């Protein structure tokens, strides 16, 4: 009896992990649409680690936000032990001398906020409470960017994943239907997102 119970518990854990591995953040490999980009190619060689060269790229305002997101996506998701989000925040704190999180939220650019949010969410997709705060702030600072809006929606959808699958679909679909946004993301990347998100329709 105890052996059967143990097997059931193990099966439940494995099933729950597989469900999360098949989710808005983990099943949208956006970087595949940017394989021709040198910076994404570089990110593919670091085995998931956010290097100083990649942090410099994310920090540079002249670089497109879609490529910054593609770099983070290329690094992958899950608990790899690299603490990329932590080290990126430390890097930014050293660069800009933010006193605390509130000052960072108020002074950081939308690109930096969405980059940190996505890094955090990809590293710990079981708990996206903090990434949502950064993502929503990024969206409020640049509400015209399709990239920022869709990444914010994916993080919010991840949060709704275990409670409301209608909301999971609606969050990203609303971005897709918003024709006022600046379409600053490759159509191939958009297709990758909705090939998965449309499963919730």
pLDDT digits (tens, 9 = 90+) for 33-70: 999 999 999 999 999 999 999 999 999 999 999 999 99
**Contacts with 137 (C-beta within 8 Å, 6 or more apart), sequence order:** 105, 113
Can you state the angle between helices 165-176 and 187-197, rounded to 10 degrees? 160
What is the pLDDT at residue 16?
37
C-alpha span between 197 and 136 (Å, rounded): 20
Does position 82 have pLDDT exceeding 60, yes or no?
A: yes
| Number of neighbouring beta carbons within 10 Å of residue 103 | 13
Q: Where are the domains positioned within the chain?
A: 2-200
- Between 163 and 120, the more confident residue is 120
Q: pLDDT digit string (tens) for 122-179?
A: 999 999 999 999 999 999 999 999 999 999 999 999 999 988 989 999 999 999 999 9
How far apart CA 121 and CA 135 sit, in angstroms, is: 10
Count of helices and strands (H, E) across the chain: 11, 0
pTM: 0.89
Q: Look up residue 78 and give its DSSP letter.
A: S
The residue to which tokens 């050293």 are assigned: 94
């Amino acid at each position: 009896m105890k052996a059967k119970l143990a097997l059931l518990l193990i099966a439940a854990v494995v099933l729950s992990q597989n469900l999360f591995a098949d989710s808005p953040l983990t099943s949208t490999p956006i970087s595949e649409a940017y394989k021709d980009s040198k910076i994404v190619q570089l990110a593919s060689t670091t085995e998931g680690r956010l290097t100083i060269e990649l942090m410099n790229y994310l920090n540079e305002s002249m670089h497109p936000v879609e490529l910054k997101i593609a770099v983070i996506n290329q690094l992958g998701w899950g608990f790899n032990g690299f603490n990329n989000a932590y080290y990126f925040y430390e890097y930014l704190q050293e660069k800009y001398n933010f006193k605390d999180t509130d000052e960072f939220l108020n002074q950081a650019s939308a690109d930096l906020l969405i980059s940190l949010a996505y890094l955090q969410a990809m590293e710990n997709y079981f708990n996206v409470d903090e990434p949502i705060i950064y993502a929503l702030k990024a969206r409020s600072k640049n509400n015209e960017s399709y990239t920022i809006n869709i990444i914010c929606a994916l993080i919010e959808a991840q949060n709704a994943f275990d409670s409301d699958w209608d909301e999971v679909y609606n969050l990203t679909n609303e971005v897709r239907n918003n024709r006022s946004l600046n379409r600053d993301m490759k159509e191939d990347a958009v297709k990758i997102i909705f090939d998965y998100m449309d499963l919730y329709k």
